[in-house]
Amino acid sequence: MGLSQRDLSTKSGVPQAQISKFENGAVDLRLSSLVALFRALGLELELVPRKSVPAVQSIVRSTALRATIDPEQFASAQIAFDHVLQGLANQDQRPKEFERLQEHIDFLRKVRIPTDQVKSFKRWAKYLERLQKNPIDSGKIATLMRRTEELRRQVEHAEALRNQSLRPRPVYSLEEEDSNA
């Protein structure tokens, strides 16, 4: 999850040296330490009857498909985007892309960013942060437009694939008539 042993130690209260020993297999993990580490990572330890494991795994997989970026990251990107849009609105002539950019961010607000698109979102957000610090010209507006449309296409495509795989399928088809019917 991208945390150093020191960061995990700070969050969990488990000493960094102990975490190192856990990772290297030098000591057995105590249940209390395991629970503290899991909670620090935003995970929960649950004991499940063996017969229920497939159902729980299915739920976890379906939930993972709907995972999205951290709300704080989205809020930060939203602030940068709003700042860029405000800069565009304050220019003498408002570019035609302004409304389209606003439509794209409205779309991104309404959907959940799929796990496989988080990196794309983060690159887009970093570009917004760079734009926020510099004067905006027509070339930068065109690049922002291209990047925003690409991100939206990726998210829409992932959404369509997810919906397609979740659509119920009939057990049989009535296309061929049964002669005994």
Per-residue pLDDT tens digits for 99-132: 788 788 778 777 777 777 778 888 888 888 888 7
Give the residue among 88, 91, 92, 115 at the shortest CA–CA distance from 102. Answer: 88
Looking at the structure, tell me whether residues 92 and 151 fall in a common domain: yes
In a domain, 181, yes or no: no
Looking at the structure, tell me whether residues 97 and 42 fall in a common domain: no
Looking at the structure, tell me whether residues 132 and 76 fall in a common domain: yes
Non-local (6+) Cβ contacts of 48 within 8 A are 56
pLDDT exceeds 50 at position 38: yes
Q: What is the extent of the structural domain holding 11?
A: 5-54
Q: Report the number of distinct structural domains present in the chain.
A: 2
pLDDT exceeds 60 at position 181: no
Q: What is the pLDDT of residue 67?
A: 46
Please tell me the total number of residues recorded for the chain in this structure. Answer: 181
Instruction: Supply φ then ψ for residue 142, to 5 degrees.
Output: -65, -40
Q: What is the pLDDT of residue 40?
A: 83
Instruction: Supply φ then ψ for residue 94, to 5 degrees.
Output: -75, 125
Q: How far apart are CA 8 and CA 14, in angstroms?
A: 8
Give the residue among 85, 68, 71, 84 at the shortest CA–CA distance from 129. Answer: 84
Looking at the structure, tell me whether residues 95 and 158 fall in a common domain: yes
Give residue-wise pLDDT tens across range 66-79. Answer: 445 666 777 777 78
Task: Dig out the tokens for 7 from the structure.
Answer: 């960061």
| Cβ 67 vs Cβ 110: under 8 Å | no
In a domain, 159, yes or no: yes
- Count helices and strands (H / E) in the chain: 8, 0
The per-residue pLDDT of the chain, averaged, comes to 76
- More confidently predicted of 175 and 47: 47
